[in-house]
Amino acid sequence: MRKLLLLGLVCTLSAPLAHARAIPNPAQRHAPGNEEQQKPIAEAGYSVGVNYQLQCAGCHLGNGMGSAANDTPRMTGFVGNFLKVPGGREFLVRVPGMSQSALNNAQLADLLNWLMRKDGLAGKSTPQDYQPYSAEEVAALRAKTMLNLPGTRAELIKQMRAQGIAIEDGMND
């Protein structure tokens, strides 16, 4: 019993020391090369391609092929089809990965327009009458939260099928 009490006392007395080590030292300096605070992505001035890599490629992959295993649809050669059905244009802005990205409204509009280029990820799926997104349109659409992503997407896919659009986004739905 004495040994148990002694062990408890040792643990109690050593615990604050362990916790104290987890508290950052306010006098600690930044690692070399990190002396300046990082600029927010909206102020960094990255190219559209870099913004895609930073904001989209983590899920949709660098080539836009997505991953069904991770429930991420392919954009390559397909994403432009959303612009062919009512509500699809809004959907692309309101998808949480877009609407909640660190990009400002102008950068997000540029990214969407970059995706929709004929030589971009959308490729031939971009409608002939495509109208570029504006920062103002993106701002208005971003303000509306999408509450049912799977249901909204399923309805848009249903509309695409009704138009005879082949669903080739790798999601098997």
Provide the token pair at 12. Answer: 């109690």
pLDDT tens track for 119-128: 889 999 999 9
pLDDT at 12: 67
pLDDT at 44: 80
- CA–CA separation, 45 and 42 (whole Å): 7
pLDDT at 72: 85
pLDDT at 58: 84
- CA–CA separation, 37 and 88 (whole Å): 38
State whether residue 72 is helix, strand or coil.
strand
Q: Are 40 and 102 in contact (CB under 8 A)?
A: yes
Helical residues (DSSP H) of 23-148, grouped into ranges: 41-44, 48-55, 57-60, 88-94, 96-99, 105-116, 135-142
Residues 6+ apart with CB under 8 A from 12: none
Strand partners, 72: 67
Q: Residue 142 is which amino acid? A: R
Q: How much is the pTM?
A: 0.75
- CA–CA separation, 157 and 150 (whole Å): 10
> Cα angle vertex 168, ends 72, 134, to 5°?
65
Provide the token pair at 17. Answer: 């020391």
Question: Could you tell me the domains of the chain?
Answer: 47-162 (1.10.760.10)
- CA–CA separation, 53 and 114 (whole Å): 13
What parts of the chain have a pLDDT lower than 70? 9, 11-24, 34-35, 172-173
Q: Are 65 and 74 in contact (CB under 8 A)?
A: yes
